[in-house]
Every structure is written in C-alpha cells, then in structure tokens.
Amino acid sequence: MKPRELKKDIYCVGAVDWDRRLFDSLIPLPDGTSYNSYLIKGTQKTALIDTVNPPMKDVLFNNLDQLGIKKIDYVIFNHAEPDHSGSIREVLAKYPEAKAVCSDKCKPILIDRFMVAEDRFQVVGDKETLSLGDRTLEFIYAPWVHWPETMLTYLQEDKVLFPCDLFGSHIATTDMFVRDAGVEYEAAKRYWAEIMMPFRLQIQKNLDKIKDYKFNIIAPSHGPMHDKPEFIINAYRSWAFDEPGNIVVIPYVSMHGSTRRMVTRLVETLTRLGVTVKQFDLADSDIGKLAGALVDAATVVIGTPTVLTGPHPAAAYAAFLANAIKPKVKFASIIGSYGWGGRTVEVVAGMIPNLKVEIIPPVIIKGYPKEADIQALDTLAETIAAKHKQAGLK
Ligand code: FEO
C-alpha cells in the first residue's frame, strides 16, 4: 500500500508493530504500538521526521521507495531513544546528502549510541527554524518529554506538531487519526503514566511553552494522530496540573488469604464511604494498568504479607514502580499480615521517598484478620475518607 498523506505532500512513512508486547523489557504493550515517521516535501527541500525501531527499518525504506524519494535533505531526530532514532545509520547511508538535525543535547547521545560521524549533524537551537521552501520547520526544545535532549518539531504553515513521544499512545491501528476517543484516552493515560508522569513538573513547563501555538494536527511518533488536538492537550493538562481524585489504589499480594481478606474489607468500607477504589492483585496484574490507575489516585495502600522479614517481592516491585513514576498521590499506607515478625512497614516506607505523601498509620496484623483487625481496617478507611474530604478531593 502506498503511504498515506495526512496533508498535501506530508506522508506517514512509519511502521505499525502489531505484535510487540513489551517495551524497554518493562512496559506491557497489550495493544502493540507504532513508530511513526513523517515525510514532508517542500518546494526546495525534503525532510523526514523521526525514523523507526531498527527491526522495522525495511518498512520505512519501502514506504520511501514507493513515494519515489531519491533524496532527503534533513532527517529530524526529535529524540534519541532507539525506537525513533535507532535506524539513523541506515537512513543516513541510504540518503548520503541528508543532514541529521537535532538538539545540542541529542547529538552526543546519537554519536555515543550509534557511532554516527560528526559531520553528518546539523544542530538546531530552541525556536530555530529551517526552510523547506514553501514550508518552515520550527524546533521547540522540550526537555524531559521523554529524555533531556527531546525537542518538538512544528510545521508552521500547516500548523502540524510533530512531538515524538509527547501526546503519544501505544496502539497498533490502521486508523491514521483517533477514531475511538475512549480507547485512545485509556491508552494515552497509561502511556502518560509510564513515560511522562515521572517528569510531570517539567512537562507542566513544556505544556505552558506551547500553549499559544495553534495546532490543526498533532502527529506523535506512537499511536494515531490527533485531528482534534484539544482532546489530548486537555487530557495532558488535567493529568499534569489537576488535583488527584477521591480515589484509592490498592496494589496487593496475598500468599494464604489473610492479606486478601484485609484488602476485601478495606475496599468494602472505603466504597461505603463514597471513595472510588481500584485493587490490583500483583500476582496477576498488568503493571501498565496499575500505573494508569495511579495517575489520578489520591491514596495508595500497598497490601503485602511479610516474607523473610520484609515485603513480598511483588509488593516491593509495586512500591519501587510507584516511587519511580511519581504519581501525585497525597497519602499512603500499608496493610498486611505476618506469621512471626519482620520489618515490612519500614522496608516499604523506605522504598517510596519520591512520593511526597503523608503516611497514614498502617495496619499490620498477626495471622488471619480477627474482629479487632477488621475494626482497625475500618478506622484506616475512615481516616482516608476524612483526609480526602479535608483536601477537597472529588
Ligand atoms: Fe518512543 Fe522515548 O521513545
């Protein structure tokens, strides 16, 4: 199939990866992903925006060949991560006149990672422009979306933003543009949680930096494009700036049923008190879904039995993950059961220093929960509900 045009002389030349199920050996991809690359033909120059993950470079080359592209003047590397820049050597070899255009911080990363010759680069500064003849590319430095070297490319005349990872989603689809807003919202939220949320404060600055630009299309390098850009911009502003909701997330693991019984009671009582609860059994949970749930949660309660004097490794993994992705939670607690002793609370609490939370007194019990333990869980639920109310969370 000949590559599709998103606007006159702007083509989608990237690859859809239907079968990939894991990213960075870490992030689940239940719906696959795509590595979007865009070709822009100006009256004088031709530019390629981002490349593709190296195993799919033949798809990119086949698309360019089908368009009859013999010469590319500029290959724009918005971001050095290999899913977008990993084909750099092959692309520059196929198009020997092309300059690799990137930010000042991106160039050394590309040289270190891909051993590209220094004279192939053209470094551009923040807000610098590059003419393609009748079209103008503007480069907007946007550090930490997703790495420190990242920039966005804005096609001024057409008002198309090429933001690489920003505003993306891991979805494999034949649709060029978002067609099912519900599906896209969930995928984009999960993607935000995994990729963007750790840099929320820097992303707030970058969202403010682009707030006066007009966009007809936002064309990210993962997932479908946005022809109604306000949808994804509003979602990002909400995730980046808004207060969390009246929501508790409970990642837990249970070995013999005691911790599970505690979770069940806590969920029942919180629900009765009008709090939304999302529980995840870590023995069989999609970590990406858990990350997505943390985006707008006000409280996280980790449930774990004591194993060999500390938390269950699955609970430790969840605590480590939550600490790394830095959700805007305000409160945290720990519940669980032990057989003869341990330091579970100290270990878990010590694993989440990035979360600027108030720790609500944990409920750690011996053996199976009894009446006094059930009461303690109800007190924990009442405390959480009261804290949410005091904080004005909705
Ligand atoms: Fe899609 Fe940060 O690379």
Whether 83 is in the pocket of ligand 1, judged by its Cβ within 6 Å, is: yes
Rounded Cα–Cα distance for residues 162 and 179 (Å): 19
pLDDT digits (tens, 9 = 90+) for 205-233: 999 999 999 999 999 999 999 999 999 99
The whole-number pLDDT of residue 341 equals 87
337 alpha carbon – ligand 1 mean position (Å): 40
Domain 247-387 in CATH 3.40.50.360? The answer is yes
Whether 328 is in the pocket of ligand 1, judged by its Cβ within 6 Å, is: no
Ligand 1 atom with least separation from CA of 82? 3
Whether 17 is in the pocket of ligand 1, judged by its Cβ within 6 Å, is: no
Distances (CA, A) of 326 to 27, 34, 234, 303: 16, 26, 21, 19
pLDDT digits (tens, 9 = 90+) for 71-84: 999 999 999 999 99
pLDDT digits (tens, 9 = 90+) for 348-361: 999 999 999 999 99
Average pLDDT of every residue of the chain: 97
Please name which of 283, 280, 279 lies closest in space to residue 271, comparing C-alpha atoms: 279
How many other C-beta atoms lie within 10 A of the C-beta of residue 342? 18
The whole-number pLDDT of residue 339 equals 94
227 alpha carbon – ligand 1 mean position (Å): 21
- The structure tokens 């409280």 sit at 299
pLDDT digits (tens, 9 = 90+) for 34-49: 999 999 999 999 999 9
Whether 41 is in the pocket of ligand 1, judged by its Cβ within 6 Å, is: no
CATH 3.40.50.360 range(s) for the chain read: 247-387
CATH 3.60.15.10 range(s) for the chain read: 4-241
Question: Is residue 309's pLDDT more than 90?
Answer: yes
The whole-number pLDDT of residue 188 equals 98
pTM of the model: 0.96
pLDDT digits (tens, 9 = 90+) for 3-35: 999 999 999 999 999 999 999 988 999 999 999
The whole-number pLDDT of residue 1 equals 78
pLDDT digits (tens, 9 = 90+) for 76-114: 999 999 999 999 999 999 999 999 999 999 999 999 999
pLDDT digits (tens, 9 = 90+) for 153-175: 999 999 999 999 999 999 999 99
Are the beta carbons of 327 and 193 closer than 8 angstroms? yes
Domain 4-241 in CATH 1.10.10.370? The answer is no
Confidence bin at 295 (pLDDT 50/70/90) = very high
